[in-house]
Structure formats: structure tokens, C-alpha cells
Amino acid sequence: MNRICVYLGSNPGFDPAYAETTRRLAGELVSRGLGLVYGGSDVGLMGLLANTCLGAGGEVIGVIPERLVEKEVAHTGLTQSFVVRSMHERKQKMADLSDGFIALPGGVGTLEEFFEALTWNQLGYHAKPCGLLDVKGYYACLSDHMDRMVSEGFLVPEHRRMVLTSSDPADLLDRFATYDPPHVDKWIEKKKGL
């Protein structure tokens, strides 16, 4: 693995625990020689992650749509920045540059980006690890809901297990390093014309 894509809030969240884990993830990425790919903004947890990686001597690549350069305060001091035309291009570029995907706490943007990476994985467009950094149980309800998807027959257990979850950045990255992607079909039963 060379680079990890991290999705995270453009807000900092109220609890200092979010910033603390963001800094710890930055330290782990840099100490393992892993570059960071992220949304290119200088605000919220996004800016904190980029600045902490840069401060520790890490590589940081930002990918930001032109419409958001001002709105999200594009970071001007990154190792490399890509200004792209659309959100779709942003997600594709971030995925192409990365060998795995992590979501730290964030809002709907974070979830949207993470779930797209997960759906691409489920459909076989890539086989890169996807993980949730569950600070303070922030993702507990989401994890419960994914269990519900399995129990209600909308998600196969192998794909549920693809979502690696940990509260500890080092543990999550260790599991990324040994990740073995599942080889199952997305459909539990391919029934036509129900």
C-alpha cells in the first residue's frame, strides 16, 4: 500500500476526541510511509489531518472540485493538488490514487464518499480495503444498520465484513495491510420479475 484515502468532516465536531484521533491517524500514516489522499480542504477535521501529516513530513494529495475551491477553503500548501470539474471526478480521482479508504467522523459528505467506495468494492470495480474509524462510538448506529441490512436480506455477510471497523488508527491500518477481499456475488438471490 502506498496511499490511503481518508474521508472526514469539513467541520471539526464538538468533542475534542475527533481531533485527537485525526492527529493519531496522521501520525500512523506518516510513520508507515503512507501518503494521504483527501478532499483538499483546509477546514474542519479535513484541514487538521492534512496539516498534521504535512507537519510530520508526510505526502498529502488533495482533490477538490473548482466550485468548492473558495467555499471549502482549498489548502494551498499540499504536496500535490488537483482541481477537478465535478464531485464525480473528485471521487474517481481520489479512488484511483489510493490503495484503501477510511472514514473518520463526518457528515453526509463523508458518508456519501465512503459508501460510494464501498459500493464500488461490492460490485468488483476495485478490491481495496474500506474501514470506519469509530471514534466514541460515532459509527455504532451505522454499524447496527448494516447488520440490519444483512438480517433483512439486503446485504451478504461477506460484504458486511468488508467494512473493517476500529476505534484505533494503528489497529485499522494493521488490518488494511492483511486485508483479503471477499469473492462473492452481490446478489443473495437473483430473482427476476418479483
Residues forming contacts to ligand AMP in the complex (CB under 6 A) are 9-11, 39, 41, 68, 72, 87, 90-91, 106-110, 112-113
- Which residues does 110 contact at the CB level (< 8 Å), separation at least 6? 7, 8, 9, 103, 104
Shortest spacing between CB 42 and ligand AMP, in angstroms:
11
Q: Max Cα separation, the chain?
A: 57
What DSSP character marks residue 191?
-
Considering the complex, state which of residue 10 and residue 52 has its C-beta at the smaller distance from ligand AMP: 10
Classified as helix, coil or strand, 131 is strand
CA–CA distance, 110 with 56 (Å, rounded to integer): 24
Considering the complex, what minimum distance in angstroms separates the CB of residue 44 from ligand AMP? 6
Secondary structure of residue 20 in the 3-state scheme: helix
Q: Which residues contact 174 (CB under 8 A, 6 or more apart)?
A: none
Which cell numbers in the block locate residue 112?
A: 456519501
Instruction: Say which amino acid occupies 188.
Output: I
Please give the grid coordinates belonging to residue 185: 456475488
* CB of 45 or CB of 156, closer to ligand AMP: 45
Instruction: Please give the grid coordinates belonging to residue 193.
Output: 420479475
DSSP state of 95: H
- Comparing CB distances to ligand AMP, the nearer of 40 and 156 is 40
Cβ closer to ligand AMP: 23 or 90?
90
Cβ proximity to ligand AMP, 109 vs 182, nearer residue: 109
Residue number of the CB closest to ligand AMP reads 109
Is the CB of 108 or the CB of 194 nearer to ligand AMP? Answer: 108
